[in-house]
């Protein structure tokens, strides 16, 4: 057992680790994936915590998954099915609501009820975001260049980056420069006047980030969430049949078919480094595995502050990793329901809206207040929620007639004053349910079981430092060639033969598969 | 759900083939009958009634209304006196066309602008600093196009207003069946015809519709849908938004945009009226020359027929206008593309709207177009010809 030698060992079987393993195995490498839990997928997972109900305890929707990853790993052949969410429903407490339907005219009529001007602006806004997204998407698949370097590789990539910006219309380029540096809220104020429309659009700017909609930099986060597509439909988000765990299983199946070995229940204790070269890993149970190349799917802090001993790392790099901003505000709630929640503001005949996203985001001010509450180590008294009833699209997620509801909730600080414990979890879960029940009064009567993943649980369960779903904040100073550290944004690390393939690297979090794939490209480049 | 036009209670019972289509968020008829043949023929030989209510309409008032419109559009609106209308495109500051429509001068400092797409936001943005009020009245007005050689005679049975002397692009206010209406000598068919503007309330629209259709029995009036209109507007050489050009604010890339000069609308640009949005860019284009020009093309139909016969096939006539981009070649090199085409039953010609490089835009130039011959694609010649293809004297005559 102890003398096994592989070409590559991937630490962590999250979706990016699996993607990385699949690509390297396909390239002929002998690959071993070591996963600490009993199941692969990391936070991309479906778990039946309450019998008969499949909970999405981590990630819940797919959009940014690179089409290349789907095609090249033939994920559909391995069981992946993606069902697009068609609508967004924003219930309001005054009895009104806002809806975004899949149809252009239908959406326009909905928005025109609130503001005719916004109904028109919305068209132009969507087209503008689509053009920006279309132009920027190639950046997702790039190994970030070092702009200070003049090596042929970096220069060639910089030329590609320049080309990306060259593709943009002039007015779009200026707009992009502004969007990148401003807050989502200020940006939306320039487009719209309707309060709930701005509220729901601003949510893309704060999902997963510990920033408020008025924090500069959330403009980029907003755009990031527009970079995805489902079958070429930009900004579309989809539910994997069987939940996001089904996606992880599909990638794992592709990896196995390509020859990768996957070991679960195998937590890695540390990376074995000899003479500044990574040569293997030691498990918590003492087993050791050796390989020419070690890839870490764990976040940068976990990798370099826990798995690698500090004497192997340059002080400057350690400093970068330590200051990497990773405080997280995101929680995940799952509810097993005896029936459907009845939203007071949902008009008769529009029940189809329950098949899409349901957003508790009535205004930018509401979101900003939610952030204010959490900023100093607290939680929102009225949290923002991105809800979804997956069983409406995939009936197998719950027993017949029953439903599950998945709620992405912000903000509750990972640095909670006094620390998280079971009582505080229960308390915040009540805040979430009380808030939602204001919009759907029957909610409390139909809850069969409730479950919350706070940042504390996300850290304990998945090993995400601070429970940060993006492995580190999506702040401008932590993106592209600065992610996670300048000079080490190209998936390589100061330790020879040690690589990163998780969301602490470009292009960051969400289910993209891009860090895993890009890292595989970097590794294969070095193997030439 | 799509909205229904203010005339829906009258048009819906006429629908025989469930051929509804979408227009600006409304349901309108493609054709009421199984085919649009009779609807088209009525349009050119008798009279046809078309519901054009989905047009966007904006009321512009205030002491700077004229200054605003002259800043917005390419034509000189000061030339439009009360009782008159004009057609005009409008552009962004790069001179790229955003939309085209008509402006009616309703009264002192009051105008009405129509457009194909909603423009409220652009209008408001362009009005900043000016003392104007812009109101979206799209849903307050129903509009019917009564087009064709018998349209005047028909309307004269319904009103004593001096329709005989009403000039092309003039309008007058009168009543039909006691309902106040505005009748303008405008349309999208290049023929004698009128547009009737009426309050969108059901009782007004139904009474006006009923009066026209009842009187229409003596004039072979035929309610017509968009398919008939589409053939007529190509014959008239009139461009259509989203078909013959992409509005600049909808374009994904610059290559999709067009300018009025490229679309043959030089006549609709008033260079000497002072500054307007896009003037600088258009002036530069005028001096340097456009890179592409709208042309009318006539297919070499004899050859099209001959080749079909050679294969033992009947000749297919495209009675329904097509809206396709088909490349146009000269000596194997692409020199342009098409955007619309149709068989013209009136002219007995296969006519096409194309966009070609200026050196090929001169009358009589020949370009090649690949068309399908059953299961093959074959090159055919098409000759640049004068626009409009069809331009009867009755379009502008007065009694």
Residue after which a domain boundary falls, among B224, B251, B267: B224
Closest CA to B228 of B148, B291, B173, B314: B148
B272 with B315, same domain?
A: no
d(CA A74, CA A77): 5
d(CA B391, CA A407): 64
B24 with B67, same domain?
A: no
Cα A335 to its chain centre, rounded Å, is 21
* Contact residues, chain B, for A127 at CB < 8 Å: 249-250, 252
Indicate yes or no: CB of B120 within 8 angstroms of CB of A117: yes
Mutation choice for A interface testing from B4, B21, B25 by most A CBs within 10 A: B25
The CATH number for B299's domain is 2.40.30.110
Q: What is the total residue count of chain A?
A: 528
B235 in a structural domain: no
d(CA A373, CA A391): 32
**Structural domains counted in chain B:** 3
Pick the CATH number of A330-412+415-453 from 3.10.10, 2.60.40, 3.30.519, 1.10.3470: 3.30.519
Of A28-42, A226-240, A289-303, A442-456, least confident by mean pLDDT is A226-240
d(CA B231, CA B237): 10
Residue after which a domain boundary falls, among B224, B247, B280: B224
Q: Give the gap in angstroms from C-alpha A105 to the nearest C-alpha of chain B.
A: 5
Indicate yes or no: CB of A121 within 8 angstroms of CB of B25: no
B74 with B112, same domain?
A: yes
- pLDDT-derived band at A2, boundaries 50, 70, 90: very low
Label residues B223-250 b or e (16+ Cβ within 10 Å = b).
Answer: bbbbbbbbbbbbbbbbbbbebbbbbbbb
Of A105, A119, A130, the CB nearest to B2: A105
Q: What is the pLDDT of residue A102?
A: 84
B153 in a structural domain: yes
Of B2, B124, B252, the CB nearest to A131: B252
Q: Where are the beta strands (DSSP E) in A297-433?
A: 331-337, 357-360, 379-388, 403-412
B184 in a structural domain: yes
The CA-atom distances, in angstroms, between B193 and each of A343, B42, B133, B180 are 52, 12, 31, 19
Mode of pairing for the β-strands spanning B193-199 and B179-184? antiparallel
Average pLDDT, chain A: 95
Indicate yes or no: CB of B121 within 8 angstroms of CB of A121: yes
Does the domain made of A5-43+66-77+241-326+465-527 have the CATH classification 3.50.50.60?
Answer: yes
ipTM over 0.90: no
Indicate yes or no: CB of B121 within 8 angstroms of CB of A117: yes
Token duo for residue B129: 């600093």
- pLDDT-derived band at A233, boundaries 50, 70, 90: confident
B236 in a structural domain: no
Token duo for residue B149: 């050689």
* Contact residues, chain A, for B250 at CB < 8 Å: 123, 127
Is residue A119 within 8 Å of residue A111, measured between CB atoms? Answer: yes
Cα A256 to its chain centre, rounded Å, is 24
Average pLDDT along chain B, 399 residues, taken 10 residues at a time: 93 95 93 96 98 97 98 98 98 97 98 96 94 96 98 98 97 98 98 98 98 98 98 98 96 93 98 97 97 98 95 93 97 97 97 98 97 93 98 96
B115 with B15, same domain?
A: no
Indicate yes or no: CB of B254 within 8 angstroms of CB of A117: no
* Contact residues, chain B, for A107 at CB < 8 Å: none
Q: Is the pLDDT of residue A278 over 90?
A: yes
First-to-last alpha carbon distance for chain A, in angstroms, is: 30
Of A120, A130, A134, the CB nearest to B120: A120
Q: What is the pLDDT of residue A1?
A: 44
Extents of the domains making up chain A? 5-43+66-77+241-326+465-527, 116-193+215-232, 330-412+415-453
B179 with B263, same domain?
A: no
Q: Which residues have C-beta within 8 Å of that of residue A274, sequence separation ≥ 6?
A: none
Q: Give the gap in angstroms from C-alpha A127 to the nearest C-alpha of chain B.
A: 7
Q: Give the gap in angstroms from C-alpha A191 to the nearest C-alpha of chain B.
A: 10
Q: Which residues of A touch B (CB under 8 A)?
A: 105-106, 108-109, 116-117, 119-121, 123-124, 127, 130-131, 134, 169
B187 in a structural domain: yes
Nearest-by-CA chain B residue for A117: B121
Mutation choice for B interface testing from A104, A114, A117 by most B CBs within 10 A: A117
Tens-digit pLDDT profile for residues A408-462: 999 999 999 999 999 999 999 999 999 999 999 999 999 999 999 999 999 999 9
* Contact residues, chain A, for B120 at CB < 8 Å: 116-117, 120
Indicate yes or no: CB of B25 within 8 angstroms of CB of A108: yes
d(CA A456, CA A183): 28
d(CA A122, CA A109): 11
- CB under 8 A, 24+ apart: contacts of B264-268: B264/B237, B264/B239, B264/B293, B264/B294, B264/B295, B264/B387, B265/B74, B265/B89, B265/B100, B268/B74, B268/B75, B268/B87, B268/B88, B268/B89
Of A109, A121, A127, the CB nearest to B25: A109
B89 with B27, same domain?
A: no
B158 with B265, same domain?
A: no
d(CA B209, CA B284): 48
Nearest-by-CA chain A residue for B257: A169
Q: Is the pLDDT of residue A210 over 90?
A: yes
Residue after which a domain boundary falls, among B198, B224, B250: B224
B156 with B210, same domain?
A: yes
Tally of CA atoms within 13 A in the half-sphere of B273 that contains its CB: 21
Indicate yes or no: CB of B118 within 8 angstroms of CB of A119: yes
The CATH number for B217's domain is 3.30.1360.120
Indicate yes or no: CB of B121 within 8 angstroms of CB of A124: yes
Q: Which domain holds residue B265?
A: 63-131+259-288
Indicate yes or no: CB of B249 within 8 angstroms of CB of A121: no
DSSP type of residue B219 = G
d(CA A84, CA A209): 24
Residue A19: φ, ψ to 5° = -65, -45
Q: What is the pLDDT of residue A3?
A: 53
Indicate yes or no: CB of B2 within 8 angstroms of CB of A108: no
Q: Give the gap in angstroms from C-alpha B294 to the nearest C-alpha of chain A.
A: 25
The CA-atom distances, in angstroms, between A117 and each of A101, A125, B58, B121, B126 are 18, 12, 13, 6, 14
Tens-digit pLDDT profile for residues A66-112: 999 999 999 999 999 999 998 999 999 999 999 999 888 899 999 99
Tens-digit pLDDT profile for residues A93-104: 999 999 999 888
């Amino acid at each position: 057992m102890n003398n096994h030698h592989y070409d590559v060992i991937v630490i962590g079987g999250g979706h990016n680790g699996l993607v990385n393993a699949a690509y390297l195995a396909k390239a002929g490498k002998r690959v071993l994936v070591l996963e600490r839990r009993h199941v692969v997928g990391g936070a991309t997972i479906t778990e039946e915590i309450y019998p008969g109900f499949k909970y999405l305890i981590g990630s819940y929707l797919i959009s940014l998954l690179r089409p290349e990853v789907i095609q090249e790993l033939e994920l559909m052949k391995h069981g992946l099915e993606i069902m697009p969410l068609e609508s967004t429903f924003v219930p309001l407490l005054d009895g009104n609501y806002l809806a975004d339907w899949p149809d252009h005219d239908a959406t326009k009529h909905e928005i025109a009820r609130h503001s005719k001007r916004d109904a028109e602006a919305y068209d132009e806004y969507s087209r503008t975001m689509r053009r920006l997204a279309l132009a920027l998407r190639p950046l997702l698949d790039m190994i970030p260049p070092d702009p200070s370097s003049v090596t042929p590789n970096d220069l060639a990539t910089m030329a590609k980056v320049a080309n990306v910006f060259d593709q943009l219309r002039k007015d779009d380029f200026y707009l992009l420069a502004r969007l990148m540096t401003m807050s989502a809220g200020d940006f939306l104020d320039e487009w719209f006047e309707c309060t709930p429309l701005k509220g729901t659009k601003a949510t893309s700017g704060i999902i997963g980030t510990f920033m408020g909609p008025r924090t500069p930099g959330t403009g980029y986060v907003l755009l990031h969430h527009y970079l995805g597509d489902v079958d070429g439909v930009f900004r579309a988000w989809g539910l994997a049949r069987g939940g996001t765990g089904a996606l992880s299983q599909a990638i794992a199946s592709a990896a196995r078919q390509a020859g990768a070995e996957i070991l679960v229940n195998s937590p890695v204790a540390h990376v074995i480094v000899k003479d500044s070269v990574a040569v293997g890993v030691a498990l918590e149970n003492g087993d050791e595995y050796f390989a020419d190349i070690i890839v870490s799917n764990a976040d940068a802090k976990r990798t370099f502050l826990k798995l690698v001993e500090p004497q192997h790392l340059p002080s400057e790099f350690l400093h970068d990793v330590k200051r990497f901003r990773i405080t997280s505000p995101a929680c995940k709630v799952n509810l097993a329901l005896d029936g459907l929640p009845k939203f007071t503001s949902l008009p008769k005949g529009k029940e189809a809206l329950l098949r899409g996203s349901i957003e508790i985001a009535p205004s930018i001010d509401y979101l900003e207040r939610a952030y204010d509450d959490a900023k100093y180590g607290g939680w929102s008294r009225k949290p923002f929620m991105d809800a979804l009833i997956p069983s409406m699209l995939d009936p197998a997620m719950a027993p017949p007639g029953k439903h599950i509801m998945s709620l992405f909730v912000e903000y509750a600080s990972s640095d909670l004053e006094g620390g998280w414990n079971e009582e505080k979890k229960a308390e915040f879960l009540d805040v979430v349910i009380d808030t939602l029940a204001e919009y759907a009064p029957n909610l409390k009567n139909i809850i069969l079981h409730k479950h919350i993943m706070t940042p504390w649980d996300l850290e304990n369960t998945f090993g995400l430092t601070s429970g940060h779903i993006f492995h580190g904040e999506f702040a401008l100073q932590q993106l592209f060639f600065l992610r996670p550290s300048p000079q080490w944004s190209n998936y390589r690390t100061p330790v020879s033969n040690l690589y990163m393939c998780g969301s602490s690297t470009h292009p960051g979090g969400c289910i993209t598969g891009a860090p895993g794939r890009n890292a595989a490209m970097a590794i294969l480049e070095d193997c030439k | 759900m799509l909205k229904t036009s203010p005339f829906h209670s009258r048009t819906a019972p006429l629908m025989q083939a469930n051929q509804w289509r979408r227009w600006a968020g409304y349901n309108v008829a493609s054709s009421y009958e199984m085919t649009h043949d009779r609807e088209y023929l009525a349009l050119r030989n008798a009279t046809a009634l078309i519901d054009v209510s989905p047009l966007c309409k904006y009321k512009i008032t205030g002491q700077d209304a004229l200054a605003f419109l002259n800043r917005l559009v390419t034509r000189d609106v000061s030339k439009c006196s009360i009782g008159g209308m004009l057609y005009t495109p409008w552009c962004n500051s790069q001179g790229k066309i955003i939309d085209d429509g008509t402006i009616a001068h309703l009264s002192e400092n009051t105008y009405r602008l129509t457009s194909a797409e909603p423009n409220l936001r652009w209008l408001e943005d362009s009005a900043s600093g000016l003392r104007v009020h812009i109101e979206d009245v799209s849903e307050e007005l129903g509009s019917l196009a009564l087009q064709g050689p018998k349209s005047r005679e028909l309307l004269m049975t319904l009103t004593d207003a001096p329709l005989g002397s009403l000039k092309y692009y003039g309008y007058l206010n009168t009543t039909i069946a006691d309902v106040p209406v505005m009748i303008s000598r405008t349309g999208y068919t290049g023929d004698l015809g009128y547009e009737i503007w009426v309050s969108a309330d059901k009782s007004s629209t139904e009474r006006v519709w009923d009066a026209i259709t009842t009187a229409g029995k003596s004039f072979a009036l035929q309610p017509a849908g968009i398919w008939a209109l589409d053939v007529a507007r190509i014959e008239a050489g009139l461009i259509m938004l989203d078909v013959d050009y992409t509005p600049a604010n909808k374009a994904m890339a610059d290559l999709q945009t067009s300018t009025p000069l490229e679309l043959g609308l030089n006549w609709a640009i008033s260079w000497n009226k002072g500054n307007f949005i896009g003037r600088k860019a258009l002036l530069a284009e005028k001096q340097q020359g456009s890179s592409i020009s709208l042309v009318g093309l006539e297919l070499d139909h004899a050859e099209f027929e001959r080749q079909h016969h050679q294969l033992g096939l009947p000749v297919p006539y495209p009675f329904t206008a097509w809206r396709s981009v088909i490349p146009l070649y000269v000596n194997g090199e692409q020199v342009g593309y098409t955007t619309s085409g149709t068989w013209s039953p009136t002219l007995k010609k296969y006519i096409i709207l194309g966009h070609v490089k200026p050196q090929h835009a001169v009358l009589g130039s020949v370009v090649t177009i690949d068309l399908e011959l059953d299961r093959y694609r074959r090159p055919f010649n098409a000759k640049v010809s004068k626009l409009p293809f069809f331009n009867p004297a009755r379009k502008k005559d007065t009694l």
